[in-house]
Amino acid sequence: MDSEKGTSTAFNSSSTTIPGGEYDVFLSFRGPDTRETFTDYLYTSLKDAGVRTFQDNNDLRIGEEIGPELLEAITQSKISIPIFSKDYASSKWCLRELSQMVECKRTTRQMILPIFYDVEPFQVRHQSGSYEEAFRNHESCFQESTVKEWKEALREVGALKGFREKS
C-alpha cells in the first residue's frame, strides 16, 4: 500500500466456506481521508473482537513490495470492506484493490461490504462529483482498459447494499 491506502479486517473464519483465509476482512481506504478517524476506530474494534485483521503499516515487512502483498492479502481474506470516501477514487491503489476484490467476488465468492463515508452510493456507482474528477486525471495517466476496469468495479460495488457513515 502507498500513503493513499489502508487496512484490512474480517469476520470469524468459521462463518464462511471461502477458501484461503489468512485474514478475515480486508479494509480498503484512502489513508488521508479516514485512517486516523473512522478506519482506525473500525480496525481497533475488529481487532479487539478477535477478528484477524490486515493493516498495511503493521503487517508488511520491510523490504517487501507493497503492491503484491496487498493484493495477496485481499485474496487471502474472506470479506472485503472498501470504505468509499471523497478522495477514494483519486488513489490508484484503492482502485487496484477494488478491482482485486471484484475479481475475488467472482472467482471465490468473497463477500464485499461497502461503506460510504461522506459520499453517496450513486457518486461511487456513476463516478460523479469527486469521483468524476479523479477519473479525468486517471484517463491521462493510465491505459483505457485499466480505467474501464476501475469504473466497472466502482459501478458493481457501488450498486451493492452497504452502510452509510457520516463524519
**Could you give the residue numbers annotated as active site?**
97
Grid cell digits, residue 52:
484477524
Q: Which residue has the cell 481506504?
A: 29
CA 46, distance to chain mean position in Å, is 16
Kindly compute the dihedral angle of the four CA atoms of residues 157, 18, 69, 112, in this order, to the nearest 10 degrees.
Answer: 20
Under 8 Å CB-to-CB from 42, ≥6 apart: which residues? 9, 27, 83
Task: Determine how many CB atoms are found less than 10 A away from the CB of residue 20.
Answer: 14
Helix axes 144-158, 130-141, angle to 10 degrees: 160
